Structure 1
Amino acid sequence: MIEAREPIIVEFPLRGEWLSPNTPGTTIPSHGTDQLGTRYAYDFIQVDWKRTGWPAYGVSLLQYLLFGVSLNDYYCWGQDVYAPCDGIVIQAEDGYEERARTNLFSDISNAYKNAHYFDPKKDDVQSVAGNYIIMKCNDNVYAACVHLQTGSIQVTVGQDVKKGEVIGRVGHSGNSFAPHLHFQLMDSSDIATANGLPCAFEQYEVFQDGEWKKVVNAIPTNKDRIRFGS
């Protein structure tokens, strides 16, 4: 569709160390679909790099499987989200309640239902996106930060925002398997009908061969240990 287009460069929307389990640096479409502008979308989580399997939570795998995990036990939940560009806030939807705990089986069921039965013509986008912010970066370029923490959105519609300004916090609202930031660029402010746009980050660091190495205008893979602003 738009594979030949050069990626649009924006600032990394988080601070600290992150992993992108779903990224266009590994697979396109990164989320297995072109719907809802997700063709080139990223998911970002924080993990314990020293534990087997790089878990995103501070409890045991057995506890996760048997009882689920409280949102407070996820490393990234509540982390600040930053504006990836100078722009204007087009949409800022808050108030969608997060589930207090993750649960493997109910979360998989919820994700399957939304992936296969969501109808953009009649279903509420918030049931998938949860709490979200859409910014207009340039003509026909819109940035979406999705699944934000309930009550965390710090901007309002029509507000001018500068790149690097805190706009919300990482959450678990909507169709979220676990706390994470879903980030994407689109050609429209309407998530239900938008096409995804390719996106790269103007700079960040990758941990390779025991040291941090700076990269510019790059797209992380799903194995990269990356950091920014620390």
Structure 2
Amino acid sequence: MIRALIKNLMALLVLTVAVPANAQGAGATQVRQSGRTYTQWLYNGVVDLLWPRLAPKLQAHFATPEGLHAFIAQIKTQLGRETSVVRERTLPWLDGEVYHRTATFSRFPGPVWVQWTIAPDGVVQGLLVKPEPAPAPSRHLDYQTRTPLRLPFAGEWFVFWGGRSVMKNYHAAAPDQRFAYDFLVAREGGTHSGDPSSNQSYFCFGEPILAPGDGTVVAVEGSIADNIPAQMNYRPSLGNHVIIDHGNGEHSFLAHLQRGSVQVKLDDTVRSGNRLGRCGNSGRSSEPHLHYHLQTTPRFRAGEGLPAQFLDYQADGKTVARGEPTRGQMVAP
């Protein structure tokens, strides 16, 4: 099925594509044209033109031009031909732009997303093809977080995924992660400098991760090896992690920590701002980042996601007394 078709590609590109939700960038017209061109090359199997435009990380995912050919063949088999374009958008992404297209296809019952992340030089940094998801239903949309939460890090971080719509936050399709966040560090339009296959090249790798609020450690894992960037370990999805029971029906999940860095143990009492470990790239993660979410139970995939409203932080240079960070923002305690 289509989910099987896109699983591996999405796994890589979930952390390659970040789309702030606001206005179109200055290069919108050019990006729209490039996106339309790349989409037609994809549909028509023009791999000899498309392959040289892919960033090395994306080429590594497909391995060879033949791998890209095989992917295109699967799209044709399972989606069929595009029958209509529902909408198009161009949105800023770090120092580049994203072309986002929602379309219908002859062999698929619902809308499908085709999305390209395009650097200023025209290189394709990310490609996403997936059925348009719906946010998970939630009875907590008006919920006010009980725990006084702080951002779980020091310094300025980038909100890679965050918000209540699936467009802003792919986690929103999952009931337990309905209001989850992915955070990383971005500098000068990028998330790393140097060898992209080395975790040490990523700005957030090894950065301290802090307790977002007071509570008791109810689950901890710290022995899982960090992934090579662009490769993922699906089991366990959380990788190295800490789960905190705040004692009021709220439980914080902090995931993908660096192997050997976790400093707390089961049943430890932690205070807001205590160091838990360091940012890593373990579990279901394609590059170093911090995953955070709040839910009703301490069991992964067995609870309801809760809105996590942080207190007294900076978002794009403005003070927020209480709020929920959204994709594309730069945030700091």
Q: What is the TM-score with the length of structure 2 in the denominator?
A: 0.55
Give the aligned residue type for 2:326.
T
Map Cα deviations across residues 120-148 of structure 1 (whole Å, 9 max, x no partner): xxxxxx52010000001122110010010
* Residues 1:70 and 2:198 are matched in the alignment: yes
CA distance in 1, matches of 2:212, 2:174: 22
Aligned length, in residue pairs: 193
> 2:172·2:179 contact (CA, 8 Å) conserved in 1?
no
Check if 1:34 corresponds to 2:185. Answer: no
Q: Which one of 160, 171, 182 corresponds to residue 43 of structure 1? A: 182
Contact 1:22 1:43 in 2 (8 A): yes
- Indicate whether 1:154 and 2:263 are aligned: yes
Structure 1's unaligned 5+ residue stretches are 115-125
Secondary structure of the equivalent of 2:171? coil
Residue aligning to 1:117: none
Structure 2 residues not aligned, in runs of 5+: 1-137
SS at the partner of 1:167? strand
Distance 2:278 2:154 in 1: 11
1:20 partner SS: strand
Are the aligned partners of 2:152 and 2:211 in contact in 1 as well (CA < 8 Å)?
yes
* RMSD across aligned positions (CA): 1.9
Alpha-carbon separation, structure 2, partners of 1:22 and 1:7:
19
Match of 2:159 among 15, 20, 28: 20
Counterpart in the other structure of 1:200? 309
What is the aligned-residue identity percentage?
27
Specify which structure has the bigger relative contact order, considering alpha-carbon pairs within 8 angstroms and separated by 6 or more residues.
Answer: 1
| 8 Å CA contact 1:82, 1:168 repeated in 2 | yes
Q: Deviations over 1:127-177 (max 9, x none)?
A: 201000000112211001001000111001111111111011100000002
Residue 236 of structure 2 corresponds to residue 127 of structure 1: yes
SS at match of 1:69: coil
Matched, 1:173 2:282: yes
Which position in structure 2 is the counterpart of 1:164? 273
Query: Aligned residue for 2:141?
Result: 3
| 1:80 alignment partner in structure 2 | 208
Distance 1:157 1:30 in 2: 30
Letter aligned with residue 324 of structure 2: I
Letter in 1 for 2:142: A
Instruction: State which structure, 1 or 2, has the greater radius of gyration over its C-alpha atoms.
Output: 2
Question: TM-score scaled to structure 1, two decimals?
Answer: 0.78
Distance in 1, Cα, partners of 2:276 & 2:229: 24
Query: CA 1:192 to 1:220, structure 2 compared with 1: closer, same or farther past 3 Å?
Result: closer
The question of whether the paired residues in 2 share the 8 Å contact of 1:30 and 1:42 is answered with no
- The answer as to whether partners of 2:213 and 2:246 remain within 8 angstroms in 1 is yes
C-alpha distance in 2 between matches for 1:14 and 1:182: 12
